[in-house]
Amino acid sequence: MAHLQELEALTKALSGLGIDEQSLISILGKSDPARRTTFRQRSTHFFIEDERSFERWDDHRINLLRLEFVRFENALVLWAMHPWERDARLVHEALTLVPQSYRVILEIACTRSSEELLGARRAYHSLYDHSIEEDVAIHVTGSERKLLVALVSAYRYEGPKVSEDAAKSEAKLIAKAIKNGDKKNPIDDDEVIRILTTRSKPHLKAIYKHYKEVSGKNINEDIEAADFILKETVECLCNPHAYFSKVVDEAIRNDADHNTKKALTRVIVTRADVDLKGIKEEYNSLYGVPLTPKIDDNVNGNYKDLLLALMTRD
Amino acid sequence: MATLVVPQNVSVVEDAENLRKAFEGWGTNEKVIISVLAHRNAAQRKQIRLAYWDLYQEDLVKRLESEIKGDFERAVYRWILDPEDRDAVLANVALKKSSDYHVIVEIACVRSSEELLAVRRAYHARYKHSLEEDVAVHTTGDIRKLLLGLVTAFRYEGAEVNSRLAKSEADILHDAIKDKKINHDEVIRILTTRSKTQLMATFNSFKDSQGTSITKVLLGETADNEYKRLLRIAIRCINEPIKYYEKVLRNAFKKFGNDEDAITRVIVTRAEKDLQLIKELYYSRNSVPLDQAVAKETSGDYKDFLLALLGKQD
């Protein structure tokens, strides 16, 4: 029945990420009162039966829908922004909204180049009249504070020169701290923090490589049990494409919460000019399916069109 | 208020030629080196190095190093480098040779945010490591925490001050001193992330409520160690750099045999900045002009060079 198909189409237009504006216009927009009543009666996840005999919008669903409608606008505004302002705003939001999202701060501090991170720090001065490290230090508590303050303050050497001996001995240090993880949190270890927050990225990649020789396992297998923040830090620093692929995959899943979903916009927009191609390849090799069609299936409307436009430029 | 005296008309090509002539023949004509280089600002010195290279395919700095020796050579070498390169060299020497960590505190606290950034960049180029990387490797414990925080700071440079915050952070500092916990994370957070204007307000608030300055209280309260010394130097460099430098000079002359490193460092690094103010303060505190102290305690070409930087004109 055409009605059933329309109902399915409407439901799809309103689920997933973003809103399929065109379908809503062509189906709902053209509907007569009877059709709309059927829509309300059959869409029990959007409408509830009111005691005074009418189908009422669930307020919670309206709020969720608003978020979906605004996804396109947020993505566009973020896309048009200067990368420095973008990163500064993302960090500030991560610090001041509840719940706090340390992951975003880690992501920006670790995946940006030295000059990009510097630019973000400059923009932060202009936008918020504070330094980024000042605000991170005030808002972040616990063992994460030392790590995050040091990560946002880093101005890493970007040349290729690496001392293999130092990398080997530092891999041993980190392995020891991780194995000791049940007695002392590795991110409380001064040496672990020193290595992760001051060494250059090529040096850290050398440590990643040597870690397996030293410990028998890959570093992310060893950290699995231990700290989530340590794991993400290492991944952002040594294997950002894998990190971004995972974040994107989590965002598209049905059970993703609000913060997790926001990551899709953040990753696609912030990496579109940088390494989306590498992320797509890594995604394909990690999950066995290409990312672009997955976005096509799970995302709606103008929001989808914008993301696909960013992903398929060349 | 700089003391450097620069003539109205400068031809960097002529300067390069005159320097070349000074090197030629038997021995070196140090008078020419002083009369040229000690009367050129940083931009001109850079142009002279470029002109010298263009004319003679030789690095002026390397040639100087081979032509002159001793304290004179060290002073001229530091003087002829770009300010940020100079600071990078001073920091590296402090870390790897002399362990005079107060030099690093000086650089981190007296320079502006952009100047400190330029030093970190120059450090990358020269040493293929980041400054924070090397600081972290060469120091441990509380000193490492303090120095890392200081060298990685990119302080907000606005004039805004939050008086309530100044009072509450002054209280935090006071409590930390009272509890003999001056290495507390909060002490480090405040000193290494807040803007300079905010910190000066904090120190003023401390003085208002305690009756004495924080540096005096620190002197009396806790055991003497290197960390405390560096902490006091950081506070003094942020709060009253002129007074700090005057004291460095005063102590340098008192030392048996003099501390030429300190004398050179202060005069060379401040001649284009605020050496005039330091001179005035020196005279008012010692009843002897700084020029006179330098003339009495140093000799030869080294003395003539320092006096020229202090404003003496031939």
Do A273 and A234 meet the contact criterion of CB atoms below 8 Å apart?
no
Cα B242 from Cα B282, distance rounded (Å): 10
Choosing among A116, A134, A162, A165, which should be mutated to test the B contact, i.e. which has the most B CBs within 10 A?
A134
Cα A294 from Cα A249, distance rounded (Å): 9
Do A280 and A267 meet the contact criterion of CB atoms below 8 Å apart?
no
Residues A106-157: pLDDT tens digits? 999 999 999 999 999 999 999 999 999 999 999 998 889 999 999 999 999 9
Residue-level pLDDT at A311: 94
Residue B135: closest C-alpha in chain A: A198
- A197 to chain B: which residues are within 8 Å by CB? 132
Count CB atoms within 10 A of the CB of residue A273.
11
Q: Are residues B173 and B225 in the same domain?
A: yes
Min Cα separation B42/chain A (Å): 25
Domain boundary at B151, B172, B206, which? B151
Nearest to B294 by CA among B269, B270, B248, B258: B258
Residues A161-180, mean pLDDT to the nearest whole number = 93
Beta carbons within 8 Å of B73's beta carbon, 6+ residues apart:
B64, B65
Burial A152-174 (b: 16+ CB within 10 A, else e): bbbbbbeeeebeeeebbebbebb
Do A200 and B153 lie within an 8 Å CB cutoff? no
Beta carbons within 8 Å of A243's beta carbon, 6+ residues apart:
A107, A111, A232, A235, A236
Cα B107 from Cα B100, distance rounded (Å): 12
Q: Tell me whether residue B27 is annotated as binding.
A: yes
Tokens of A156: 């890493």
Q: The domain that contains B170 carries what CATH number?
A: 1.10.220.10
pLDDT grade, residue A8 (50/70/90)?
Answer: confident
Q: Is A57 helix (H, G, I), strand (E, B) or coil?
A: strand
- In chain A, count of helices (H) and strands (E)? 19, 2
Cα B132 from Cα B148, distance rounded (Å): 6
Do A170 and A195 meet the contact criterion of CB atoms below 8 Å apart?
yes
Q: Can you list the residues of chain B whose pLDDT is less than 70? A: 222, 256, 314
Do A154 and B141 lie within an 8 Å CB cutoff? no
Q: Are residues B235 and B247 in the same domain?
A: no
Residue-level pLDDT at A226: 60
Q: Is A135 helix (H, G, I), strand (E, B) or coil?
A: helix
Do A272 and A311 meet the contact criterion of CB atoms below 8 Å apart?
yes
Cα A198 from Cα A151, distance rounded (Å): 8
Residues A267-290: pLDDT tens digits? 999 999 999 999 999 999 999 999
Residue B75 lies in a domain: no
Domain boundary at B124, B151, B178, which? B151
Q: What is the mean pLDDT of chain A?
A: 91
Q: Tell me whether residue B149 is annotated as binding.
A: no
Beta carbons within 8 Å of A118's beta carbon, 6+ residues apart:
A155, B117, B154
Min Cα separation B94/chain A (Å): 19
- B155 to chain A: which residues are within 8 Å by CB? 131, 134
The count of domains in chain B is 4
- A138 to chain B: which residues are within 8 Å by CB? 189
Least confident of A23-27, A239-243, B104-108: A23-27
Residue-level pLDDT at A214: 87
Nearest to A163 by CA among A131, A133, A199, A117: A199
Count CB atoms within 10 A of the CB of residue B111.
19
Beta carbons within 8 Å of A60's beta carbon, 6+ residues apart:
none
Q: Is A69 helix (H, G, I), strand (E, B) or coil?
A: helix
In order of A58, A87, A285, the CA distances from A52 in angstroms are 15, 50, 55
Q: Tell me whether residue B133 is annotated as binding.
A: no
Place of tokens 């606005």: B158
Do B158 and A129 lie within an 8 Å CB cutoff? yes
Nearest to A18 by CA among A244, A251, A247, A250: A251
For B129, the closest of A121, A138, A157 (CB atoms) is A157
Q: Tell me whether residue B297 is annotated as binding.
A: yes
Q: Which phi and psi (to 5°) does residue B23 adopt? A: -85, -25
Residue-level pLDDT at B306: 96
Q: Which phi and psi (to 5°) does residue B287 adopt? A: 60, 15
Q: Are residues B227 and B246 in the same domain?
A: no
Residue-level pLDDT at A258: 86
For A159, the closest of B128, B156, B185 (CB atoms) is B128
Choosing among B150, B189, B199, which should be mutated to test the A contact, i.e. which has the most A CBs within 10 A?
B189
Do A204 and A238 meet the contact criterion of CB atoms below 8 Å apart?
yes
Per-residue HEC secondary structure of B92-110 comes to HHHHHHHCCHHHHHHHHHH
Beta carbons within 8 Å of A253's beta carbon, 6+ residues apart:
A260
Cα A303 from Cα A19, distance rounded (Å): 7
Residue A198: closest C-alpha in chain B: B133
Beta carbons within 8 Å of B21's beta carbon, 6+ residues apart:
B29, B32
Q: Are residues B233 and B253 in the same domain?
A: no
Beta carbons within 8 Å of A209's beta carbon, 6+ residues apart:
A167
Q: Is the ipTM of this complex over 0.85?
A: no
Min Cα separation A107/chain B (Å): 19
Do A131 and B185 lie within an 8 Å CB cutoff? no
Residue B78 lies in a domain: no
- B210 part of contact set with chain A, CB < 8 Å: no
Nearest to A199 by CA among B135, B308, B31, B125: B135
Do B127 and B255 meet the contact criterion of CB atoms below 8 Å apart?
no
Do B154 and A153 lie within an 8 Å CB cutoff? yes
Choosing among A92, A113, A116, A198, which should be mutated to test the B contact, i.e. which has the most B CBs within 10 A?
A198
Do B215 and B232 meet the contact criterion of CB atoms below 8 Å apart?
yes
Taking the alpha carbons of A217, A221, A224, A229 in that order, is the dihedral positive or negative?
positive
Q: Are residues B211 and B176 in the same domain?
A: yes
Residue B132: closest C-alpha in chain A: A198
Do B140 and A199 lie within an 8 Å CB cutoff? no
Q: Is A56 helix (H, G, I), strand (E, B) or coil?
A: strand
Min Cα separation A298/chain B (Å): 42
Do B68 and B33 meet the contact criterion of CB atoms below 8 Å apart?
yes
The highest-level CATH class for domain A156-226 is: mainly alpha
Packing angle, helices A102-111 and A144-153, rounded to 10:
30
Residue spans of beta strands (DSSP E) within chain A: 47-49, 55-57
Question: Containing H/E element for B273?
Answer: none
Residues A51-79, mean pLDDT to the nearest whole number = 93
Tokens of A102: 């340390």
Name the residue ranges covered by the structural domains of chain A: 156-226
Residue B116: closest C-alpha in chain A: A155
**DSSP labels for B119-165?**
HHHHHHHHHSS-HHHHHHHH--HHHHHHHHHHHT----------HHH
Residue B45 lies in a domain: yes
Residue-level pLDDT at A98: 67
Q: Are residues B88 and B121 in the same domain?
A: yes
- B159 part of contact set with chain A, CB < 8 Å: no
Domain boundary at B127, B151, B175, which? B151
Do B195 and A194 lie within an 8 Å CB cutoff? no
- B90 part of contact set with chain A, CB < 8 Å: no
Choosing among A156, A194, A204, which should be mutated to test the B contact, i.e. which has the most B CBs within 10 A?
A194
Cα A305 from Cα A72, distance rounded (Å): 9
Residue-level pLDDT at A225: 59
Min Cα separation B170/chain A (Å): 15
Do A94 and A151 meet the contact criterion of CB atoms below 8 Å apart?
no
- A121 to chain B: which residues are within 8 Å by CB? 154
DSSP-assigned letter for residue A314: -
Residue-level pLDDT at A223: 81
Nearest to B303 by CA among B16, B38, B7, B26: B38
Residue range(s) defining the domain that contains residue B297: 242-309
Residue A149: closest C-alpha in chain B: B149
Choosing among B116, B121, B132, which should be mutated to test the A contact, i.e. which has the most A CBs within 10 A?
B132
